[in-house]
Each structure stands twice: as structure tokens, then as C-alpha cells.
């Protein structure tokens, strides 16, 4: 894949690059082209990058690599987990994100003090390595109720609806229309026609020693306040309030057979229903006979 990109970097007074916006990216089969205005002062820098497939596969070496790869994900040039993001965290500076754009940690106190003595118009939204997706890219046919809960680097397909408590991390997202009322952690992808219920959680790869990449298939439902540490195939349901980790002991009840196994043995299996027996507390896994279907009008998002 040949990629050419042009971006505008914001810099601190000391010359540190704080962030980069890439309004123009072109590959062989896709392009995003927006007007680039002439930089007006030394706080801006024009960035030009020419990449090939090897650049996508190598670790990130600097902030320019980091922001281009995050843009490629959110512009939908590449799928989550398809490019090398090693070195991402060490390449991104911690930045104060304000209503006037990014500010260096070393300069925010002066700007905040000046604001308090003046119009008091500076507002700090967060202090983080990652900015909000919508400060850079507005994905087509997607609804996001609270933009602060979706990071740059999220991959959102058309028809996705993210409600107020929904969260989508970088290198994660949806591969079709989906209802997101819970958390999609880093590395997790969600299939078409799937509903992540309110307060539901997916185990990512950034913490907790979990190295497995979790995916959720099509036509699935994670009930409210449920969670998974295993992958789900297509047409799966996890009961509200039930968290299924890879080590969860599950009573597999299919046909006339009943055996106790670890949930990891069912990772990625389709047509499964996970629920807890309210009389004895056992986690049951059995065939799912219900087909999940989203409200079509809700996910047109035109």
C-alpha cells in the first residue's frame, strides 16, 4: 500500500510537536482531500509523509508516525489490529486539550493564569496522550452522543450509534452498524448488527495482562453491565450482569450433554447463550435460538 499524506502540526513555544492533523491522505484505492491553508506563524509546521506497506508494519518511531496511523484507522484506510502500533504511547506527549487546541504541559499554567486575569475563556477538557476523534475526523453516517468518549484512532463503520455512556478506544471499533452503550476497549472489534448494552465491557489488551485480542461477531448482544474476556462468534448473547472471563467455569449444556469447561474453550463459537442460573449461581452456556436485530431506523444516521 502506497500512502502519501500532508498534515499540519501544532507546536509549543519550545518547538515541541503537540499534535498533527492530516486533512489529506491518498492511497491507491482511497483518498481524503481537504484544503490546507498556509501556516500563519511558527506555532504550525507542514508535515509531508510518503509510506509503503513496510512503514505500516514497522513500530512507531515518533509523533508523526503515531498521528498518521491513528488517522488511517479513523479514516477507515486500515482495519483495527492490521498495522503495527508498537511504540505508540512512548511517541505521544501528554497534552492539555483545551477549547483553543492542544497546549504543552509546561505552558498551561501561564495560559490559565492569563485567562483568569483576562476573559477567563480557556476551558480544559482533558490531560491525555490521545485527543477526541471528532476534533480531527467526522466519520460519515455515525452518531456520537458524547464526543469526549471516542478517541482518535477509533474505527467506526456507517450505521454506528454511540450513546452517552458508550466509549470507543483507539485501534478498536465497529465493522458494521452497531449500538454502543458500553465500552469497546483497545483492540476490540464489533461485528454488524451487534448491541453493546449499557455499562457492558470488553476486555482489551492494554492492561490486566490480557494478550488475547477480543472480537464480537455479528448479531450479538451484551446485556447491560455484562462483560467478556473471550471472543464471541455470530448470534451470541451474554446475559445482563454476567462477566465471562477466559477462566470462568461454564456448564456447557448442548443437546443432552452437560460438561464443565473453561469459557476460553468457547471463545469465538457462534450461536451461544451465556447466563447465570439464579438458583445455584452456575454460569450456563447453551444454544442461542434468538436472532438479534437492531432498529433499522435508529442506525440509518443520514
As annotated, the active-site residues are 181
Q: Distance between CA atoms of 105 and 46, rounded to whole angstroms?
A: 23
Could you tell me if 251 and 285 are in contact, meaning their C-beta atoms sit under 8 angstroms apart?
yes
Q: C-alpha angle with apex 168: 165 to 169, nearest 5 degrees?
A: 135
Could you tell me if 210 and 283 are in contact, meaning their C-beta atoms sit under 8 angstroms apart?
no
Is 6 strand, coil or helix? strand
H or E segment at 50? strand 44-51
Is 41 strand, coil or helix? coil
Grid cell 447491560 is found at: 224
Of residues 197, 150, 194, the one with CA closest to residue 172 = 150
Could you tell me if 14 and 104 are in contact, meaning their C-beta atoms sit under 8 angstroms apart?
yes
CA 29 from chain centre, in angstroms, equals: 24
User: Which DSSP string do the residues of 93-113 spell out, in sequence order?
Assistant: PPEEEETTEEEETTTHHHHHH
First-to-last C-alpha distance (Å) of the chain: 31
Q: Distance between CA atoms of 79 and 102, rounded to whole angstroms?
A: 27
H or E segment at 25? strand 17-26
Amino acid at each position: 500500500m502506497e500512502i502519501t499524506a500532508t498534515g499540519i502540526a501544532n507546536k509549543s513555544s519550545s518547538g515541541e510537536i503537540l499534535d498533527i492533523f492530516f486533512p489529506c491522505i491518498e492511497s491507491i484505492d482511497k483518498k481524503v482531500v481537504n484544503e490546507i491553508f498556509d501556516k500563519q506563524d511558527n506555532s504550525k509546521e507542514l508535515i509531508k509523509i510518503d509510506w509503503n506497506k513496510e512503514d505500516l508494519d514497522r513500530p512507531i518511531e515518533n509523533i508523526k508516525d503515531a498521528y498518521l496511523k491513528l488517522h488511517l484507522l479513523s479514516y477507515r484506510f486500515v482495519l483495527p489490529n492490521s498495522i503495527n502500533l508498537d511504540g505508540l504511547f512512548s511517541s505521544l506527549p501528554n497534552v492539555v486539550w483545551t477549547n483553543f487546541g492542544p497546549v504543552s504541559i509546561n505552558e498551561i499554567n501561564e495560559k490559565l493564569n492569563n485567562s483568569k486575569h483576562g476573559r477567563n475563556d480557556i476551558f480544559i477538557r482533558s490531560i491525555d496522550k490521545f485527543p477526541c476523534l471528532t476534533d480531527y475526523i467526522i466519520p460519515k453516517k455515525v452518531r456520537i452522543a458524547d464526543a469526549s468518549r471516542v478517541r482518535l484512532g477509533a474505527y467506526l463503520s456507517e450505521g454506528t450509534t454511540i450513546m452517552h455512556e458508550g466509549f470507543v478506544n483507539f485501534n478498536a471499533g465497529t465493522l458494521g452498524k452497531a449500538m454502543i452503550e458500553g465500552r469497546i476497549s483497545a483492540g476490540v472489534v464489533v461485528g454488524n448488527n451487534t448491541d453493546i448494552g449499557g455499562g457492558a465491557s470488553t476486555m482489551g489488551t492494554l492492561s490486566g495482562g490480557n494478550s488475547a485480542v477480543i472480537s464480537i461477531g455479528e448479531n450479538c448482544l451484551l446485556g447491560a453491565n455484562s462483560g467478556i474476556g473471550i471472543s464471541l462468534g455470530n448470534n451470541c448473547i451474554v446475559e445482563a450482569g454476567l462477566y465471562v472471563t477466559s477462566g470462568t467455569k461454564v456448564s456447557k449444556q448442548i443437546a443432552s450433554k452437560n460438561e464443565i469447561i473453561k469459557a476460553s474453550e468457547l471463545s469465538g463459537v457462534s450461536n451461544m447463550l451465556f447466563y447465570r442460573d439464579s438458583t445455584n449461581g452456575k454460569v450456563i452456556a447453551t444454544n442461542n435460538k434468538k436472532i438479534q436485530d437492531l432498529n433499522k431506523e435508529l442506525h440509518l444516521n443520514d
